[in-house]
Amino acid sequence: MRQRRETASSNGEASEKSGNDAEMCTTVHIGNPRRSSFVWLALLLIITYCCSSIYHYQFQRLPVPLTAEEAGKRGFSEIEAFKHVKALTEVGPHSVGSEALHIAVQYVLTASQTIKKTAHWEVDVEVDFFHAESGANRLDSGLFVGKTPVYSDISHVVVRIAPKYVPEAREQSILVSSHIDTVFSTGGAGDCSSCIGVMLELARGISQSAHGFKRAVIFLFNTGEEEGLNGAHSFVTQHPWSKTVRKAIDLEAMGIGGKSSIFQAGPHPWAIENFASVAKYPSAQIISQDLFYSGIINSGTDFQVYKEVAGLSGLDFAYVDNTAVYHTKNDKLEFLKNGSLQHLGENMLAFLIHVGASSHFPEENSTEAEEDMSKNNAIYFDILGTWMVVYRQKFANMLYNSVIMQSLLILATSLVMGGIPAAVSFALSCLSILLMWVIALGFSFLVAFLLPLISSSPVPYVSSPWLVVGLFGAPAFLGALTGQHLGFLLLQKYLLNAHSNGRQLPPITKAAVVEIEAERWLYKAGSFQWLILLILGNYFKIGSSYLALVWLVFPAFAYGFFEATLTSARLPKPLKLATLLLGLAIPILISAGIFIRLVATIIGNMVRFERNPGGNPEWLGNFVIAAFIAALLCLTLVYLLSYIHLSGAKRAIILATLVLFSLSFALVLSGVVPPFSEDTVRAVNVVHVVDATGKVDEGQNPISYVSLFSTTPGNLNKEAEQINEGFVCGKDKTVDFVTFSVNYGCWTYNDTPTGWSETDIPTMHVDSDAQENGRITQVSINTKGSFRWALAINTEEIEDFKFKDARNSEELIPVDKKSSVNGWHIIRFSGGKNASTLFELTLYWRSGSTHNSDAPLLKLRTDVDRSTPIIERVLKKLPRWCSLYGKSTSPYTFAFFRNLPVNF
């Protein structure tokens, strides 16, 4: 009788011996599944440090500013550009219609004329002071759905630079554009005096080198952008030079300083491809374009006008550092980092010189359909701000489809060869991914929900963004580890049962083999989730799908390179550390900086998160950040987490994560780290409101009060207490500002009857109401002294309308199909001091209208750039951590309300 004895060594070796004086040994090394806790804690710290270093190298490393002497006549000098930024900022806030804007425009005009005088003798520089009498911006996408911006009496400076002895160059122009105007609440050092300063210095440099160009460069210094992209619209629809423009470059800011990155490009890829070939410090991320087009970033730039109205392709740049200061008092020179202007200026100068002298210059517009544009779009991103990758969607389709097909083929082959055990193991490993997501989101959502209940502010991390690492990152990490570990235990239990019915191994060996197999299945499941994202991204033609490709291919390659193929005669070994390091090196290098920048941008946007103050739960903003961070961790740490389950570092890692969370939570609870500071402020609005709604009889007294509200989540009790002007806060008084509603705010009636008179109140008068061939109503509107106002038209009652300037009977908005939002179409008017205040509105009623609506027929808000005595006192007492916030839909510090009921 043959006797057999099996043993398992401490390092996981299995041996087999047989009797009858003969011994046959079969030894299989499976390695030690346990790993040092010190090694893994160190590895996590190293990865964190590397991610931070990549971010700083990619986005915070700026070129050295050059003086005029160092740059030379044809170079770009930040020192010279900064002089322009400083001069424009010192003017103070210069919104449309203000005297300050007139001064700013005159400064740009004078600087442009100086460039003309000093240009190279073979270069022709034309300076045009362009005045747009009136117009209506009929965009119907993005922010403009249900809205029509109307403008009047706005002025721009247009500079055309062309080679003097190449007359045909003027027929093919490149447009470089930005806006001079600011919102009323800031001097606009970042948005966008920095852009204007760069453009003036660019124009000076181009004026010295354009004699070798084959086409002209037009610099458009426009106004009216902040009120609805009106300057760009007036140029492309009214200026004769616009007919020669073939490509458009827009310079913008959603913060101040840092690197100016391309966040929109196309539709034709020519511009981005040429930029990538010559840019000295490339910075461009298509993921920003994807977020912008999806509506997650709810904003608009002049590039939208150039693309949709003029049918142009091109590039859209933006400064996004310190985005929390956007449109607040802190958009000032002190926060403009050295090297910011030099970075954009050198990139743009190299690009303009290259394309200006290029013999190849496509003339097709984005509106022309010579080929399927979906196959011609560019996929673009930079690596460490040093190299730039650009390829077209057609190539992306081939590449992604190839990777998808090969991945699915490999997966299917392994499942077929492994049979039912492999299929069940794969399903359980996918379940672990699902559990990871659910619990990671659950833990981070729980913290997001609790923060408003225990903190003085629902967003206590705004002034200290690093707090989100502990507040949301730590719970998400614990949740991801917990969820994946639960899946690991289920997978381990199944594999133990499967091995019990198969090859007989000692219990110790079997347990080690099962753990290692489970580890490998979790690693493969990590690749599978990225494969799913790649399939979805490729199907919907999402540009940032390259991230899924990178996170799929390199870890899969490392796994195939280092990990031996399993056979029936060979047991598995623990995953090698080299597999993890090689697999994650390139994905982290390419994406770490981008992910950190996106998180920082989202945190900065919390300052202006609420478009209708008080209309959302206080925890909603936290949920957005928590979800984003949890998703990033689940996607990027899935490979690393699969190693930890066999590690002796689980307890140490969990303890360290709990300590990080506890410290962050304690800092928030104690108030040691304030939610806002003098440098990172809370956005508020203070408006003296005169409410004359429903006052058909002019003799009735209107209601007057001061409204205090904030676009930053959280109550205003502390601010109202410090101001000490009798403010009452709550949701008891909803204020309809026509373009938005304040559902939570503070109000006071102290000293509000002074500083205005009833002659300032706008009027709406029904001139005629005819019933022939459908009901048609004529309404005359007098906005009195206001050149900035918003009128909402009830589209539940009104099918269409036309709008005229009563002074000259010019039709500003014709009768045609108009969109609406929530039953309203809004006309937003802005203009200079010579703009009209008298208008005629013709309303065409719906045939099925009951005329019994509780809502008014028309709602009017007029803004006046004036401070009453109560407003001056409130602004002086405003806490240092608060700032007025301006945007196209927000009122000035003084506003009048008027309406016209349906049954007038």
DSSP annotation of 134? E
Considering the entire predicted model, what is its pTM? 0.93
Average pLDDT for 524-536: 97
> Does the pLDDT value for residue 574 go beyond 50?
yes
The pLDDT value given to residue 570: 64
Q: Is residue 558 within 8 Å of residue 524, measured between CB atoms?
A: no
The pLDDT value given to residue 509: 79
Pick the range with the lowest mean pLDDT from 69-73, 525-529, 666-670, 770-774. Answer: 770-774
Long-range contacts of 62-68 (CB under 8 A, 24+ apart): 62/258, 62/259, 62/337, 62/338, 62/339, 62/340, 62/342, 62/343, 63/280, 63/281, 63/339, 63/342, 63/343, 63/346, 64/339, 64/342, 65/338, 65/339, 65/341, 65/342, 66/342
Element (H, E) at 48: helix 37-55
The pLDDT value given to residue 619: 96
> Does the pLDDT value for residue 867 go beyond 70?
yes
Alpha-carbon gap, residue 303 to 365, rounded angstroms: 14
Average pLDDT for 708-721: 97
The pLDDT value given to residue 662: 97
> Does the pLDDT value for residue 3 go beyond 70?
no
Alpha-carbon gap, residue 511 to 523, rounded angstroms: 19
Find where tokens 């390419």 sit.
590
pLDDT band at 32 (very low <50, low <70, confident <90, very high): low
Helices 194-206 & 78-90 angle (0-180, nearest 10): 140
Q: Where are the beta strands (DSSP E) in 123-231?
A: 123-136, 147-163, 173-179, 216-222
> Does the pLDDT value for residue 601 go beyond 80?
yes
- 95 burial level (CB within 10 Å; 0-12, 13-18, 19+): buried
> Does the pLDDT value for residue 382 go beyond 50?
yes
The pLDDT value given to residue 7: 40
Q: Is residue 673 within 8 Å of residue 467, measured between CB atoms?
A: yes
The count of other CB atoms within 10 Å of the CB of residue 731 is 11
pLDDT band at 31 (very low <50, low <70, confident <90, very high): low
The count of other CB atoms within 10 Å of the CB of residue 2 is 7
The pLDDT value given to residue 499: 77
Q: Around 531, how many Cα atoms within 13 Å sit in the side-chain half-sphere? A: 20
* Percent of the chain with pLDDT strictly greater than 90: 83
For 478-502, write each residue's pLDDT tens digit: 999 999 999 999 999 999 888 776 6
Average pLDDT for 390-399: 96
pLDDT band at 663 (very low <50, low <70, confident <90, very high): very high
* Percent of the chain with pLDDT strictly greater than 70: 92
Alpha-carbon gap, residue 502 to 525, rounded angstroms: 24
Of 498, 522, 499, 515, nearest to 572 by C-alpha is 515
Alpha-carbon gap, residue 534 to 540, rounded angstroms: 10
More confident residue, 794 or 26: 794
Of 264, 283, 273, nearest to 593 by C-alpha is 283
Residue 827: helix, strand or coil by DSSP?
Answer: strand
Alpha-carbon gap, residue 853 to 785, rounded angstroms: 31
CA 380 to chain centre: 17
> Does the pLDDT value for residue 379 go beyond 90?
yes
Alpha-carbon gap, residue 215 to 352, rounded angstroms: 10
Q: How far apart are the first and last CA of the chain?
A: 110
Alpha-carbon gap, residue 796 to 822, rounded angstroms: 9
For 814-845, write each residue's pLDDT tens digit: 999 899 999 999 999 999 999 999 999 999 99
| Strand order through the sheet with 810-813 | 763-770, 776-782, 838-845, 798-805, 810-813
pLDDT band at 13 (very low <50, low <70, confident <90, very high): very low
Average pLDDT for 322-334: 96
> Does the pLDDT value for residue 10 go beyond 70?
no
Of 260, 281, 286, nearest to 350 by C-alpha is 281
For 116-167, write each residue's pLDDT tens digit: 999 999 999 999 999 999 999 988 888 899 999 999 999 999 999 999 999 9
Strands 824-831 and 147-163: parallel
Of 833, 832, 797, 793, nearest to 813 by C-alpha is 793
The pLDDT value given to residue 128: 98
Q: Which residues touch 402 (CB under 8 Å, ≥6 apart)?
A: none
Of 197, 194, 211, 109, nearest to 156 by C-alpha is 109
Strands 173-179 and 735-736: unpaired
Average pLDDT for 323-328: 96
For 229-276, write each residue's pLDDT tens digit: 999 999 999 999 999 999 999 999 999 999 999 999 999 999 999 999
Residue 407: helix, strand or coil by DSSP?
Answer: helix
Average pLDDT for 2-9: 41
Tell me the two tokens of residue 476: 């998400």
> Does the pLDDT value for residue 597 go beyond 70?
yes
Alpha helices (H) along 302-459: 302-308, 340-357, 393-454
pLDDT band at 594 (very low <50, low <70, confident <90, very high): very high
What's the helix, strand, coil split of the chain in %, to 5?
Answer: 45, 20, 35
Long-range contacts of 702-707 (CB under 8 A, 24+ apart): 702/758, 702/761, 704/749, 704/752, 704/753, 704/756, 705/747, 705/748, 705/749, 705/752, 706/747, 706/748, 706/749, 706/750, 706/752, 706/870, 706/871, 706/874, 707/735, 707/742, 707/745, 707/746, 707/747
Tell me the two tokens of residue 705: 């009060």
Q: What mean pLDDT, rounded, does the chain reach?
A: 91
pLDDT band at 15 (very low <50, low <70, confident <90, very high): very low
